[in-house]
Structure 1
Amino acid sequence: MSDQSPSRLLDKIIIRVPDGMRDRIKRVADSNNRSVNAELLVLLDRTYPEETKLDEHLQDIAELVGKLPAEKRGDAWEAVFDRLKVLRNDTA
């Protein structure tokens, strides 16, 4: 691999894991047809999603609700908030 490889420009994190954990990660990565690095990136992205993803989803919801007739928007927002409450309780 060349010293000019684009991956050499990425941030790096070195971690220490308990005995056996790297093997467990490798088995899961293999079953997902990914490298250990790619598997860890998937897990980290799930745990630490970009903050803008939530903002984008909220904007999409607001735009969809905004397209509804004015008399239906209140009910739509209530349904959105009710669903968020259910999801919050499911993850608590």
Structure 2
Amino acid sequence: MSDQSPSRLLDKIIIRVPEGMRDRIKRVADSNNRSVNAELLVLLDRTYPDETKLDEHLQDIADLVGKLPAEKRADVWRTVFDRLDTLRNETT
């Protein structure tokens, strides 16, 4: 068996954390049935989402709106755009 597991081929980042933080992360990871690494990846992915995931979420929204009765779609799209505008303003 090769000593090169697939995970060894991934990019690696080493970080220093304040005393006690690793233990706090470990407790949350355990409660989520994840490793510390997996827990950190979830948090990082939320903060730095892949653009293709954003496209997938937008497609999900479009699909959901498309399933609504035609007479409700315009109002729902207006709500979606208003919410996106609010979120955009909160992040700028």
TM-score scaled by length of structure 1: 0.70
Number of equivalences: 89
| Partners of 1:24 and 1:82 in 2: CA distance | 37
Summarize the Cα distance change of 1:20–1:63 in structure 2 as closer, same or farther, 3 Å threshold.
closer
- Offset at 1:66? 7.6
What RMSD over aligned residues (CA atoms) do the two structures have, in Å? 2.9
The structure number with the bigger radius of gyration is 1
2:7 corresponds to: 7
Unaligned runs of 5+ in 2: none
Amino acid at match of 2:11: D
| Partners of 2:63 and 2:22 in 1: CA distance | 44
Unaligned runs of 5+ in 1: none
Summarize the Cα distance change of 1:23–1:81 in structure 2 as closer, same or farther, 3 Å threshold.
same
**Can you list the C-alpha shifts for 1:24-67, whole angstroms capped at 9, x where unaligned?**
10111111111111111111111111012222333455577789
Amino acid at match of 1:46: R
Summarize the Cα distance change of 1:2–1:66 in structure 2 as closer, same or farther, 3 Å threshold.
same
- The 5-angstrom pairing of residues 39-54 of structure 1 reads 39-54=39-54
| Partners of 1:72 and 1:34 in 2: CA distance | 41
Summarize the Cα distance change of 1:20–1:2 in structure 2 as closer, same or farther, 3 Å threshold.
farther
- Offset at 1:77? 3.9
